[in-house]
Chains A and B, each alone.
Chain A
Amino acid sequence: MDLSTTNFIGDLVREYSPYSWVASIVNGVIAIVAIMAVGVGPSPMLIWWERKVAAFTQARLGPMRVGPWGLLQTVCDVIKLLFKELITPHGADKLLFFLAPALPLTGSFLVLAVIPWDHNLQVANPGMGVPFIIAVSSLGILGTLLAGWSSNNKFSLLGALRCGAQMISYEVSLSLIMLFVVLMSGSADVREIVLSQQGNVTDWWIIKAPFLGIAAFVMYMISATAELNRGPFDMSEAEQELTAGFHTEYSSTAFAMFFLAEYINMVATSALASVFFLGGFLPFAFPDFGFAPIVGVVASINGALAILPGFFWMAGKILFLITLFMFFRWTYPRPRVDQLMSLEWKFLLPANLILLGLGAVFIAFGLILP
C-alpha cells in the first residue's frame, strides 16, 4: 500500500459523511491544531533549556527552586506574563499595534506547515516548498517593522529599523543557501530534499557535497542566527542602547506572542537546517566504506538505530541545532551594527554566490559523492 497518498482521518470522515467539504474542514482543523501544538508545546521547555544552557556556560545552576531542577519555572513565568496588564502606549496606532505581534507568529506557523516530520507526517507538501518558505518568512520582518513604528517610541522605531535591515540582509544569504540545496538535490520540494539524502551519514548534504556542504551549513547557521535576531547578533534589542528594541512598549500577551515567535522561529529554522543538511527525518546510519570486516556489524547497528521512528530523529536533530544556537548566544560577544552589515554584504553574499557557482560546477562534473 502506498502510504504517501493515504489520509487516514480524511478517509474516516468521508466514510461517515456524505459531503466532501466536511472532510476538508476536519482535516484543516486537525492540521492547524497539530501545527500549534508542535509550535507552542516545546517553547516553554526550550525557554527552560536556554536558561539551563546559559547557567551551565557561566558555571551557575540556573532555575532550581520551582519543581525538580526548576522545570516548572517557565510555567510560573507564563502565568505571570498572561496575567499582566496589556498596556497600549499613548498615541500608538492601535490597529497596527495589535496586528504586529500576530504576523511573526503566522509566518512561523506557515513554515512549520511544510516541514516533513516523518515519512507520512507533513501538513502540506507544496511542489515549491522552498520558495514558499522564503515567501512566508517575510511576514516576520513585516511584524517587526510595524511593531516598532506603531509603538510611538523612538527606541522602538530605531530597534525596528535595525532589526528589519538585519533580517532583510540575511534573508538574501539564507535564500541563496536554500537555492544551493535545491540545486544539489534537484528539487524544491521539501520532502524530496530529505529523500535525496537516503543512505548513511555520508549521503547527507553536509558531507555529500564535498567541502561545499559544510561551508554552506556553517554559513546557514551564521545567517540563521542573524535572521532570528539571537545573540550575538541581537543588536536590534540591545538593552544598553535601545532598551528592548521594537517590543519595548509591548506587555502581557502581546509581548508573549513576540517571545513565542522567537522560539517557534528557532524550531522552524533548526528543522529546515536539519532537512537541508542533516537528512531530516532519516535515521542516523554509520557508513561502512565497503570495508568487509565491519559491514555486518555496521549493518546491525544501523538496523537497530532505524527502529526509532523518523519524528524522533527529526526532533533529536532539531534539539541538537537549537542547543548549538544557544551555545552561540553565550559564547560570542555582540558585534557592532555596521560590522554585522559588512559581514553580510561584503563576505557572506559573495561567498554564497561563489558557492552557488561551484555547486553548479560540481553537479556538471559529477563531483558529488555517490
Chain B
Amino acid sequence: MIADIGFYIVAFAMLVSAIWAVTAKNILHSALALIGSFFGTAILYLMLSAEFIAVAQVLVYIGGVVIFVIFIILLTSRLGDKAEIAPAMRKILAFALCSAMLGTFLHALDRAGYLVNTKTATAASDFASMRNIGLRFLDPGANGFLVPFEIISLLLLITVIGAIVIARKEGE
C-alpha cells in the first residue's frame, strides 16, 4: 500500500519534471528538470530492488549525460540569451511524431500483455545484484549475454575512435 502511494508520488514528480524539461524557456532549467526525471527513474529502480541499476542510472545519466549537456550549454550560451521559439509548423510536426511513437509503444505493450499487468512476481533479493549481473553478462551459455556485451564494448571503442578523428585538427 505504502509502496503504491510512493510509486504514484514518484511517477507524478517524474511527469512534472519531464513536462518542465520540454516547456522551460531557459535551456539550463530544462537540463535541470531532466535530472529530476532521471532521478525519479532511479528511485523506481530502487523500489523494484534493482539497486545496481539505480546506481548505474545515476552514474551514467546524471553523472555523465546531463553533466555533458550542461557543459555544452555553458560553452555555447550565456545567461540572458533569448530562448529560441520553434515555429508553429515544427511544433505540430513534433507533436504528431511523439504521439505516433507513444501510440506504437502502448500498442506493443498491449499486445505483449504488459499494459494492464495484474500479475505480481517476487524475485530472489539478489537477482539484480552486481555479482549476478556480472555473471550473466560473461556467461557464454544460453542464459548469458556474452555476445551482446562484447558487441557493446566494440561499439564504445568505435565511438572513442570516432571522437578522436573528429577532434583531431587537420594536417596533424
8 Å CB contact of B79 from A99, A126, A145, A152: A152
Q: Which residues of A contact B63 (CB under 8 A)?
A: 134-135, 137-138, 141
Is A176 in the interface zone, CB < 8 Å from B?
A: no
Is B158 in the interface zone, CB < 8 Å from A?
A: no
Which residue in chain A gives the minimum CB-CB distance to B79?
A152
Q: How far is the CB of A127 from chain B (nearest CB, A)?
A: 6
Q: How far is the CB of B135 from chain A (nearest CB, A)?
A: 14
Is B59 in the interface zone, CB < 8 Å from A?
A: yes
- Which residues of B (42-81) have their CB < 8 Å from a CB of A? 51-52, 55-56, 58-59, 62-64, 66-67, 70-71, 73-75, 78-80
Given A149-B74, A150-B79: A127 and B58 interface contact (C-beta under 8 Å): no
Which residue in chain A gives the minimum CB-CB distance to B35?
A142
Q: How far is the CB of B65 from chain A (nearest CB, A)?
A: 11
A334 to B150, CA, bound (A): 42
User: Could you mark each residue 10-52 of chain B with 1 if its beta carbon is under 8 Å from any beta carbon of chain A, else 0?
Assistant: 0000000000000000101100100100000000000000011
Which residue in chain B gives the minimum CB-CB distance to A132?
B55
Q: Which residues of B contact A131 (CB under 8 A)?
A: 52, 55-56, 59, 130
Is A128 in the interface zone, CB < 8 Å from B?
A: yes
B-contacting 9-mer, from A157-165, A213-221, A287-295, A353-361: A157-165
Q: Which residues of B contact A138 (CB under 8 A)?
A: 58-59, 62-64, 67
Is B129 in the interface zone, CB < 8 Å from A?
A: yes
A99 to B36, CA, bound (A): 13
**A161–B67 CB distance below 8 A:** no
A36 to B32, CA, bound (A): 26
**A161–B32 CB distance below 8 A:** no
**B55–A157 CB distance below 8 A:** no
Given A92-B79, A168-B67: A145 and B130 interface contact (C-beta under 8 Å): no
Q: Which residues of B contact A53 (CB under 8 A)?
A: none
A149 to B28, CA, bound (A): 9
The count of residues in chain A whose C-beta lies closer than 8 Å to any C-beta of chain B is 31
A307 to B52, CA, bound (A): 38
Q: Which residues of A contact B64 (CB under 8 A)?
A: 138
User: Could you mark each residue 94-114 of chain A with 1 if its beta carbon is under 8 Å from any beta carbon of chain B, else 0?
Assistant: 011001000000000000000
Is A93 in the interface zone, CB < 8 Å from B?
A: yes
Which residue in chain A gives the minimum CB-CB distance to B28?
A149
Which residue in chain B gives the minimum CB-CB distance to A157?
B74
A160 to B58, CA, bound (A): 22
**B130–A91 CB distance below 8 A:** no
Given A149-B74, A152-B79, A188-B130: A135 and B59 interface contact (C-beta under 8 Å): yes
A148 to B28, CA, bound (A): 12
**B70–A145 CB distance below 8 A:** yes
Is A136 in the interface zone, CB < 8 Å from B?
A: yes
Which residue in chain A gives the minimum CB-CB distance to B131?
A127
**B70–A135 CB distance below 8 A:** no
Is A146 in the interface zone, CB < 8 Å from B?
A: yes
Q: Which residues of B contact A142 (CB under 8 A)?
A: 35, 62, 66-67, 70
A136 to B56, CA, bound (A): 11
A136 to B66, CA, bound (A): 14
**A145–B71 CB distance below 8 A:** yes
**B67–A127 CB distance below 8 A:** no
Which residue in chain B gives the minimum CB-CB distance to A151?
B79
Which residue in chain A gives the minimum CB-CB distance to B2?
A21
Q: Which residues of A contact B70 (CB under 8 A)?
A: 142, 145-146, 149
User: Could you mark each residue 152-179 of chain A with 1 if its beta carbon is under 8 Å from any beta carbon of chain B, else 0?
Assistant: 1000010011001100100000000000
Q: Which of A96, A148, A150 has the most CB of B within 10 A?
A: A96
**A157–B78 CB distance below 8 A:** yes
Pairs across A and B, CB under 8 Å, 15 listed: A92-B79, A126-B51, A127-B129, A131-B52, A131-B55, A134-B63, A135-B63, A136-B58, A138-B58, A142-B62, A142-B70, A146-B28, A146-B32, A150-B79, A168-B71
**8 nearest A-B residue pairs (beta carbon):** A138-B63, A135-B59, A135-B58, A152-B79, A131-B55, A128-B130, A145-B70, A135-B55
